[in-house]
Structure 1
């Protein structure tokens, strides 16, 4: 293939790049980068296979256009995670994904943040949890003696020597064990006091 700009596909690509350089790039401070691409396109088009140059420019143009779409599109509404039941009079009832809400809470998010993510207030979320027969409380702490806890913490400390109390506490959570932070920290002091001091 030659570097002739009269080919229809090549001309279209050149027009898109020129549009990007003249209209989109200056608004976002991209001008110098894309102008250098046009220069590269016109210079290298004669010595590099045109399909490679076209592919590069197409990907740059696609990236630029998707960025422009992202920046010009308004954000979604705040309560996108909720919907409403059929209206039968009065204020419409929210339909919340309670499984997702509980999963977010178990990950360590407070109920205020979970309610905010669902686009409702905390009291509404509590009401829906009560209606579904679910408890808004965190799971009860796992009964475990200090020796067993020390064994778990020692195993984690050996595998992850630079892990602090938060990471060490996360490992038992994955196994379904819910242990207070203070107990994990005390166990770390018993098992790996030097590591605690170093961290």
Structure 2
């Protein structure tokens, strides 16, 4: 990971320097350098995403998704003044490692956001093991926010959740209104 990303970013810096030198003198050469910068940045970003998605969270090393979320909830309870309730419905079954990894990251982000920003009295984390689908739900009774007013840049947590769900082919819904709390639901078809 280090070599690939370091090479990409070094190449980007070299190209930026070269483009800066020829900027005033040669528009075509500048355009060629800018296209190379774009390509190097895309390669580096792709490699970073691939590497990060390949990393298995430590919480999953010792078990499965429901035990990892249970440990996460236990950690959050100890660190927050908020009541955090964890519930499993249905009979737990194994999910592919990549699915569990992404669901844990989504759950972790949703729980962290609820604790940091919601000013909630209660947060519920629910796993539903159904015959045809798996559901992860994180719901709080906090301050909520206008979902339509989320900027498209700057909200890396929500963007990350959305990208992870899309990568899995899962359905992600974020329901929230000011003063009404927030509910984040991820549905993964079992097939």
Assess same fold via TM > 0.5.
Answer: no
Considering Cα pairs closer than 8 Å and 6+ residues apart, tell me whether 1 or 2 has the greater RCO: 2
For normalisation by structure 2, the TM-score amounts to 0.24
Name whichever structure is richer in strand by fraction.
Answer: 2
Q: Which has the higher helix share?
A: 1
| TM-score, normalised with respect to structure 1 | 0.23
